[in-house]
Amino acid sequence: MGSYTKLTYHIVFGTKFRRKSIRSEIVESFYEYIGGTIRNRNGTLIQIGGIEDHLHLLVGLPPTITVSDAVRDIKSNASKWINENRIDTRNASDKFEWQIGYGAFTVSYSHSEIVQNYIRNQRKHHRTRTFEEEYIELLERHKIKFERKYLFEAEHVG
């Protein structure tokens, strides 16, 4: 008998300090680049979406790659792409960075359409709630224990 898998994950991560760095004019190219990073690891990008300060991805990964390795590759390659192309926010000296950490949730492929719709409707969701509120809700819905003080970096000046 052969081995067969269908490993689907909903992955969420934000920009460092939740800066609104993912501008609408780069979204299409940015998402295509991220899809290429996932394909290079033999994964499948099923859905991607978000707003200026965070991303949601629904991905299929082979059993030979861990979620943490996939996220590391996605985040590092995406940061490099933005920084090399100087397409971050306010000024050319700003360096684009992601928050430390991420959320990853398993999804039954038979329910993936629900998650795809959720990801497609990010703009609508965020008319009434912040990324922080959404992220905490996802963690609580999945019964993940956490301490709020460790969820997000605090921006320190000086």
Q: pLDDT band for 149, please (50, 70, 90 cuts).
A: confident
**CATH class (in words) of the domain with range 7-150:** alpha beta
Q: How confident is the model at residue 141 (pLDDT cuts 50, 70, 90)?
A: very high
Dihedral angle over CA of 52, 43, 138, 128, nearest 10: 30
Q: What is the pLDDT of residue 12?
A: 97
For 16-63, write each residue's pLDDT tens digit.
988 888 888 888 999 999 999 999 999 999 999 999 999 999 999 999
**pLDDT band of 87, cuts 50, 70, 90:** low
- Asked if residue 90 has pLDDT above 60, the reply is no
Mean pLDDT of 58-74: 97
pTM for this predicted structure: 0.89
Query: What is the residue extent of each domain of the chain?
Result: 7-150
- Proportion of the chain above pLDDT 70, given as a percent: 92
138-146 long-range Cβ contacts below 8 angstroms, 24+ apart: 138/12, 138/103, 138/105, 139/103, 142/105, 144/103
CA-to-CA distance for 128 and 51, rounded, in angstroms?
13
